[in-house]
A = this chain, B = another copy of it.
Amino acid sequence: MIRIGIMGYGNLGKGVEIAVNQAPDMETVAVFTRRDPSTVKILTEGVPVVNVSEVSNWKDKIDVMILCGGSATDLPVQTPEFAKMFNVVDSFDNHAHIPEHFANVDAAAKEAGNIGVISCGWDPGMFSLMRVYSNSILPDGKDYTFWGKGVSQGHSDAIRRIDGVKNAKQYTCPVESSLEAVRSGSNPELTTRQMHTRECFVVLEDGADAARVEKEIKEMPNYFEPYDTTVHFISEEEFNKNHSGLAHGGFVFRTGKTGVNKEHNHVIEYSLKLDSNPEFTTSVLICVARAAHRMHEEGMKGCKTILDIPPAYFSTLSGEELRAHLL
C-alpha cells in the first residue's frame, strides 16, 4: 500500500481523501492541518488529524504527501519545504510562476533525494498533456482552449468587492458557435469576446442600486469589459439553492495540416465535463502520487511535471495487463 499524507483539508484535501478510498493500492495515513486538529472532522475512521507543526515526525511513515493548499501563498512555500521531507505532489496553477516554482522544488527535492511533482490537475495537468501531445503530432497548426461552463473564483471575488454586493458567482461559458467553428476545422481567428461569455449571479445588499452595480461589473477592465457579460440579480435563497456547485470543464483543440501541399486537415479535441472540479483534480493528483512513488522507488529525484511521467505509471495495472486490455 502506498502511504498517503494529506496537507490541508479544504475541498482539495477532502477530494484526495475520497479518491484514496477509491484506490485499491493506497491508504491515507494522516491529514495535516494548520488548525486545531480537534476542530477538523474527516471522513475516514481511524485516520489521525495532526497539526502541521508535528509533520517531521511522519517522515518515514508517508510515501507521498499531497499538498492541498492554494497557489497564491501556500504552495510556493509549502511545496519546497515539504519536498525536503517527503515525495510531494501539488496542483500549483499559477501558470506564469511555474518556472520559478519548479526551480525551488527541484533544488529542495534533489538535495533530499525526493520526487516533487508540481502543477497537476486538469489545467495545468490533463489539458497540458493534450497541448503537448497535439502540438508534437501536428506541428503546423493552431491551439484553442475553452473553459467552462464553470465558476471562476477570481471573477466571483471581483464582483463581491463591488460596493452593494452581498454575494456573487461568475460562470465562464464557452461560446457554442465558436466551439462549432473550431470543431469544423475552419481555423477561425477568435477574439476574447468570441471565445467566452461571462454570466454573473449577484445578491445585492438591502437598498443597493442594481443598475449601478451592473454597470460597474460590465465595465470592469480585463475582468468583464472584454466579454459579453450577463448579470442576474437573485435572492440569497436562490443563490444558496442553485449556485453552490463546483462544476467545471473545458475543451482543448488542436487543428493542423499535413500533406505534400498541406491539403489534409485534422482536428483533435479533448473535453472535460466535471460535476466536481476539486474531486476531478484530486483524482488526477492521486494518479500522480502513484507515479511519484514509483519514480522514487526507481531512484529518480528532483522536480517533475505531468509531462515527465510515463502514462503507464498512472495505472494500478501492470505493463502486461495494460498491453493486453487497454493498448
Q: Which residues of A contact B (CB under 8 A)?
A: 15, 18-19, 22-23, 43, 95, 98-99, 102, 119, 124, 126, 128-129, 131-133, 135-140, 183, 185, 258-260, 263-276, 279-280, 283-284, 287, 290, 305-312, 314-316, 319-320, 322-324, 326-327
Contact = CB atoms under 8 A, between A and B. Distances in A.
Given A272-B266, A307-B327, A139 B22 contact: yes
B315 A132 contact: yes
Contacts of A22: 139-140, 258
Identify the 3 closest CB pairs spanning chains A and B, nearest first. Answer: A264-B275, A136-B314, A264-B276
A95 B18 CA distance: 35
A272 B276 contact: no
Contacts of A311: 129, 132-133, 306-309, 311
Nearest to A24: B139
B326 A131 contact: yes
A283 B137 contact: yes
Number of this chain's copies in the complex? 2
A99 B138 contact: no
A259 B268 CA distance: 30
A322 B310 contact: no
Contacts of A309: 310-311
Given A18-B259, A272-B266, A137 B280 contact: yes
A258 to B, nearest CB: 4
A309 B314 CA distance: 12
A323 B118 CA distance: 11
Contacts of A259: 18, 276, 279
10 contacts: A43-B260, A128-B327, A132-B311, A258-B276, A266-B272, A267-B271, A270-B270, A307-B323, A308-B310, A308-B319
A316 B136 contact: yes
Contacts of A140: 22
Nearest to A312: B307
Given A139-B22, A276-B258, A132 B95 contact: no
B133 A129 contact: yes
A267 B258 contact: no
Given A124-B327, A308-B312, A137 B18 contact: no
Nearest to A136: B314
A311 to B, nearest CB: 5
A305 B320 CA distance: 11
